[in-house]
Every structure is written in C-alpha cells, then in structure tokens.
C-alpha cells in the first residue's frame, strides 16, 4: 500500500522560501510514476503546482513556474517542493500525490503552511 | 491557464441521481481523455473517483460514473447516499503539459 506524508514548517515569513518534503512508503520514488504537488487555500479549490516525472523531467503550473522547484531525493525515497518569494496568497494546505497514468492517487494527508510575518 | 468551470453547488435527495458538469476548452477537456474526478470531505485529502473520463478505481461504487462530450466532462452519481455529501473536483491535462482543476462543486444530500 503506497502512502505519502508531507512535512515542513507550518509558517513561513514573506518574502521567504516555502520548503516541503513528501516521504513515500510502499513504492520506490524511482518507479515509473510522476510525483505531484497540489495546494488548496483555506476555503478555496485545488490548484496544481507541478510534478517531477521519470528521468527528472519537471512540469510546473505556468502561473507559478518562475517560483517553483520540485526535486527528488532517491536516497531518502522522497521528493520536495520549494516555492520562493512567498506572500500571504501562498497560504494553503499543500498536498503531495503520486501522478502518472493520468491520475493523482494516492494523496498525502496535507499540511497547512501559513505565510505571515 | 483558467480553471475548468463547475457549478458551485448541486443537491439531491437520498436515492436520487445528480450530475456535475466540468467545462473547459479544446486545449484541455476537449483535447484529451485525461479527465479525472476527486471527492473531498471536509478536512480530508481528495480521493480519486474517476480517471480517464470513465474509469473507476477499485473500491469506488458503481453508482459513480463519468462521461465526456466535446469540451464538457460530467460526473454522475446515482442512488445518492448521505456519505456522498462532499466537494467534487474535476481535473484535465492540458496542451501546456500541465494540469488544471475545476473550481469545485459542493454536493448536498438533502
């Protein structure tokens, strides 16, 4: 059974960098899947942030592309998200999910990150 | 990229059927069969309900079904149950090699 677990600081000061990690268990991060980040501002809908796919290929939301970096750490079987120059608008629950095969499944439980000085 | 368009809310009584629409463009919904649907209960992570327009993952009741016509995809739920009350989101792959979600639909079971 594949499980994902997000971790990282719950608060970030603007205009700093938000950094989160997603630990994967039950599957190899090197398998033939993409690994995805999605966020959800409080009371609002889901927004796709980006993904890292086999071979290290990355795809990002065009509206966030200039600020986002997604990377993989094979030695720890985890992947990470970095979002720079954060503002209050980046306050959200951040989810990681396994992508590939044209679906996102399963998802992590999510972690709330608040951007505030 | 603009979010896919979903109705803000739908409702139905137990046992009834409802449909949630998801409208995009030829650059996303209309251009690919890579449309999926997610159910989200309050405070919980989204759960995959339908993928590739019509496919149900194992464990999802066959009361849930998906379809697509042109630039609009739809999620149908028959035999509504109280546990179906949740938010539902569609998503589609796009010509920008990215994914776009719908704004979400709140389903109320009366």
| Helix (H), strand (E) at residue A79 | strand A78-83
A106 preceded by a cis bond (ω within 30 of 0): yes
Q: Taking all residues of chain B, what is their mean pLDDT, rounded to a whole number? A: 97
Q: Is the pLDDT of residue B1 over 80?
A: no
Asked if B10 and B76 touch (Cβ cutoff 8 Å), the reply is no
Determine the average pLDDT of the residues in B54-60. Answer: 97
Q: Which residues of chain A does B57 touch, with a Cβ-Cβ cutoff of 8 Å?
A: 103, 105
pLDDT by residue (tens digit) across A51-98? 999 889 999 999 999 999 999 999 999 999 999 999 999 999 999 999
CB contact under 8 A, A46 and B57: no
Q: Are strands A47-53 and A57-60 parallel, antiparallel or unpaired?
A: antiparallel
Give the C-alpha distances (Å, rounded to integers) separating B56 from B8, B36, B43, B92: 24, 10, 24, 16
- In this prediction, residue A100 carries a pLDDT of 82
Q: Tell which residue, B101, B84, B88, B34, has the closest CA to residue A38.
A: B101
Which residues fall within 8 angstroms of residue B60, CB to CB, at 6 or more apart?
A: B48, B49, B50
CB contact under 8 A, A101 and B51: yes
CB contact under 8 A, B48 and A48: no
Residue B87's pLDDT band, with cuts at 50, 70 and 90, is very high
- In this prediction, residue A26 carries a pLDDT of 96
CB contact under 8 A, A59 and B97: yes
Residue of A nearest to B42 (CA): A43
Q: Which residues of chain A does B93 touch, with a Cβ-Cβ cutoff of 8 Å?
A: 102
DSSP-derived 3-state class of residue B83 = helix
């Amino acid at each position: 059974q594949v499980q994902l677990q997000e971790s990282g600081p719950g608060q970030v000061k603007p205009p700093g960098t938000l950094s989160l990690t997603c630990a994967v268990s039950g599957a190899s991060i090197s398998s033939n899947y993409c690994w995805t980040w999605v966020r959800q501002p409080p009371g609002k809908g889901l927004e796709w942030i980006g993904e890292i796919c086999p071979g290290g290929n990355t795809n990002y939301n065009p509206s966030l592309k200039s600020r986002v970096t997604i990377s993989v750490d094979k030695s720890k079987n985890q992947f990470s998200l970095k979002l720079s120059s954060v503002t209050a608008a980046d306050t959200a629950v951040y989810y990681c999910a396994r992508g590939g095969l044209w679906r996102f499944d399963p998802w992590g439980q999510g972690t709330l990150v608040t951007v505030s000085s | 990229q603009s979010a896919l368009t979903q109705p803000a809310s739908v409702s139905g009584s137990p046992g009834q059927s409802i449909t949630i629409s998801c409208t995009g463009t030829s650059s996303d919904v209309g251009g690919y069969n890579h449309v999926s649907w997610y159910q989200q209960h309050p405070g919980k992570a989204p759960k995959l309900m339908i993928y590739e327009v019509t496919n149900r993952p194992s464990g999802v009741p066959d009361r849930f079904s998906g379809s697509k016509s042109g630039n609009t995809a739809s999620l149908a739920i028959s035999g509504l149950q109280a546990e179906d009350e949740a938010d539902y989101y569609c998503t589609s792959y796009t010509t920008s090699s990215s994914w776009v979600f719908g704004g979400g639909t709140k389903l109320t079971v009366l």
